[in-house]
Amino acid sequence: AQKVTQAQTEISVVEKEDVTLDCVYETRDTTYYLFWYKQPPSGELVFLIRRNSFDEQNEISGRYSWNFQKSTSSFNFTITASQVVDSAVYFCALSSQGAQKLVFGQGTRLTINP
Amino acid sequence: EAGVVQSPRYKIIEKKQPVAFWCNPISGHNTLYWYLQNLGQGPELLIRYENEEAVDDSQLPKDRFSAERLKGVDSTLKIQPAELGDSAVYLCASSPGLAGVDTQYFGPGTRLTVL
């Protein structure tokens, strides 16, 4: 069975601080895909990134960066110089062609205070 | 390119009443998903369509929930009769093709409140 764990239920930081959201996953598939989605108060799930299990290269997109480590089954997300607009619930998710299902973690509610 | 469209955005009904949600996926996306999201939880799959065929409805409570995607494009999810525990957000998503491989893109959801 596939499982995603986001141990941090809520995080609150002051604007301009860096913040890391943790994600640990479990799967028996050798080929799988990891995702991060952002859910702002409006409710829509916004796609941020997709990584496949064969690509462990870290990725940076502006203030966002992702650290994928197969050795620890983790796919962590860091926001540098956080801004109030980053406040949202962030979900890590896992899928594979074998399971044909996208499994979500419980989400981390991030609050950036001015 | 237009995203996934859902309506209505909000719905308030009395228990035992029927309710229906509509979804129009991104143009060209063959796979359509309905998810249930309870407060403080991640979304959970209810049903997946590949074109007009429901290929995974194992998590759909079939005694009261039904869904259709007649022409392989837009889809409707229905609850009849609604119960208090059905209060949640119902999300629709679509992807180009392969479930479990392609990225899923989500609509804004329908927030259902059952009184």
Q: B interface mutation test: which of A5, A32, A44 has the most B CBs within 10 A?
A: A44
Of B40, B56, B101, the CB nearest to A97: B101
Of A45, A91, A96, the CB nearest to B100: A96
For residue A89, give the amino acid letter: V
3-state secondary structure at position B49: strand
The Cα B103–Cα B82 span in angstroms is: 31
3-state secondary structure at position A92: strand
Contacts of A42 in chain B (CB under 8 A): 108
pLDDT tens string A36-46: 999 998 889 99
The Cα A7–Cα A3 span in angstroms is: 12
Return all residues near A81 (Cβ < 8 A) that are at least 6 apart: A16, A17, A18, A63
Predicted confidence (pLDDT) at residue B37 exceeds the cutoff of 90: yes
Contacts of A104 in chain B (CB under 8 A): 42-44
Average pLDDT on B34-42 reads 95
Predicted confidence (pLDDT) at residue B99 exceeds the cutoff of 80: no
Return all residues near A96 (Cβ < 8 A) that are at least 6 apart: A2, A27, A29, A31, A32, A33, B100
CB contact under 8 A, B100 and A104: no
Residues of B with CB under 8 A from a CB of A: 33, 40-45, 48, 56, 89, 91, 93, 98-101, 103-109, 111
Predicted pLDDT at B47: 96
Of A50, A96, A104, the CB nearest to B103: A50
Average pLDDT on A79-100 reads 94
Q: Facing residues of A26 across strands?
A: A3
Return all residues near A6 (Cβ < 8 A) that are at least 6 apart: A21, A22, A23, A24, A91, A92, A105, A106, A107, A108
Q: B interface mutation test: which of A101, A108, A109 has the most B CBs within 10 A?
A: A101
Q: How confident is the model at residue A98 (pLDDT cuts 50, 70, 90)?
A: confident
The Cα A98–Cα A111 span in angstroms is: 36
Q: Are B7 and B24 in contact (CB under 8 A)?
A: no
Q: Are A60 and A81 in contact (CB under 8 A)?
A: no
**Residue B57 burial (CB < 10 Å; 0-12/13-18/19+)?**
middle
